[in-house]
Amino acid sequence: MPPPLRARASNRFLRVVVNHLATAAAIGSTILVMAPLIAIFAYLLFKGASSLNFAFFTQVPKPVGEVGGGMANSILGSGILLAIASLMGVPIGIAGGIYIAEFGRNKRLANMIRFTADVLNGVPSIVMGIAIYTLIVVPQKHFSALAGGVALGIMMIPTITRTTEEMLLMVPLNVREAALGLGVPNWRSVLSITLRTASPGVITGCMLAFARVAGETAPLLFTALGSQFWSINVNQPIAALPLQIYVYALSPYDEWHRLAWAGALVLIVLIVVSVALVRYVAGRGILKGAS
């Protein structure tokens, strides 16, 4: 027999109680989620800042047992890897975004590319590392900074393509028509009118991709490999900040743990500052058109 449709007083009371319970649960889960997240930041700042010193930025790692040493070579190595990655990922990513937004609107091909980019974004980075290992490291017969940079660069492409596309779609059609009406060739109009109008957003997208690969460790494990020495040769194994943090975190030495915390703090600060800085500069229009 179906229940009567009339609302009874007890029913009403129950509903109010459930409502309050649900509200409490939502607030409680928010607090529960924020707690470990704040703890991560607090530990990073606390442990990292207390371990940072001048030597960290100027010295290479010391052998086991010796106090001191730093990660200067890892910072440099990360810089080189990210430069290679950006040189490869940024132009290809932006060009891909231009194709989807400007030439492929409503075409099945463009939709497929967009979808593939989204899916590629979720491919585990370690798989990318294996692919680059068999593609570059095996034929060359040695690990190299180049292989690491290419692995990171490939990971940047889908992110940049998608954000560039989204930003270009926000540019009104009238802007393009005005340019064409003045007799500007289409390619020129795309590059110096449409892309330029969208450049703050495009740059932000590039920085997000950059920040994401800056902390990647897995694809570097068997491409760049890591190194304890100064190296700027792109054909040789090279140190990277995330790799060094990984090695030191798993080591049994307190001194190395200390350096790992310091490295983690430096990595986070580099990522956050570079993103914030470029956002700020791009927002002020100084970099407009620089992409």
Partner 1 sequence: MNSQTQVPRVAGQADVQRADNTTSSGAEPSPSPVRAYLLSCGSSSLADRAFSALMLVCALSIFAIVLLILVELISGSKLTIQKFGMSFFFGSAWDPVNGNFGALPFIYGTVVSSILALIIAVPLAVGVAIFLTEMCPDWLRGFLAFFTELLAAIPSVVYGLWAIFVLIPLMRQYLNPFLIKTLGWSGIFAGPNYGIGMLAAGVILSIMILPIISSLTREVMSAVPHAQREAVLALGATRWEMIRMGVLRNARIGIVGAIILGLGRALGETMAVTMVIGNRPEIARSLLAPGYSMASVIANEFSEASDELYLSALIEIGLALFIVTISVNALARVLVWAVTRGAPVRGT
Q: Which of 8, 28, 58, 277 binds partner 1 (CB under 8 A)?
A: 28
For partner 1, the closer of residues 249 and 287 by Cβ is 249
CB of 241 to partner 1, least distance (A): 9
CB of 141 to partner 1, least distance (A): 14
Decide whether 80 or 128 has the Cβ nearer to partner 1: 128
Q: Does 221 interact with partner 1 (rule: CB under 8 A)?
A: yes
Binding piece for partner 1, criterion CB under 8 A, among 62-70, 74-82, 125-133, 197-205:
125-133
Q: State yes or no: residue 8 binds partner 1 (CB under 8 A).
A: no
Q: Are 164 and 97 in contact (CB under 8 A)?
A: yes
Q: Give yes or no for residue 34 binding partner 1 (CB under 8 A).
A: yes
Among the candidate windows 49-57, 62-70, 128-136, 197-205, which touches partner 1 by CB under 8 A? 128-136
Q: How far is the CB of 191 from partner 1 (least distance, A)?
A: 8
Residues 6 or more apart whose Cβ sits within 8 Å of residue 56: 70, 71, 72, 259, 262, 266
Q: 216 vs 231, which CB is nearer to partner 1?
A: 216
* Among residues 123, 169, 277, 290, the one that binds partner 1 under rule CB under 8 A: 123
Query: Tokens standing for 258?
Result: 């200390």
Q: Which residues make Cβ contacts (< 8 Å) with residue 122, sequence separation at least 6?
A: none
287 contributes a contact to partner 1 by CB under 8 A: no
What's the chain look like in SS3?
CCCCCCCCHHHHHHHHHHHHHHHHHHHHHHHHHHHHHHHHHHHHHHHHHHHCCHHHHHCCCCCCCCCCCCCHHHHHHHHHHHHHHHHHHHHHHHHHHHHHHHHCCCCHHHHHHHHHHHHHHCCCHHHHHHHHHHHHHHHHCCCCHHHHHHHHHHHHHHHHHHHHHHHHHCCCHHHHHHHHHCCCCHHHHHHHHHHHHCHHHHHHHHHHHHHHHHCCCHHHCCCCECCCCCCCCCCCCECCHHHHHHHHHCCCCHHHHHHHHHHHHHHHHHHHHHHHHHHHHHHHCCCCCCC
Please, which of residues 35-54 interact with partner 1 by CB under 8 A?
36-37, 39-40, 43-44, 47
The reply to whether 253 sits near partner 1 by the rule CB under 8 A is no
Q: Which residue has the tokens 């986070």?
A: 268
106 binds partner 1 (CB under 8 A): yes
Within positions 153 to 182, which residues make up the interface with partner 1, using CB under 8 A?
154, 157-158, 161, 173, 176-177, 180-181
Nearer to partner 1, 2 or 183 (CB): 183
Cβ closest to partner 1, residue 9 vs residue 37: 37
209 binds partner 1 (CB under 8 A): no
| Residue among 169 and 290 whose Cβ is closer to partner 1 | 169
Binding mask 84-103 for partner 1 (x = CB under 8 A): -------xxx-xx-xxx-xx
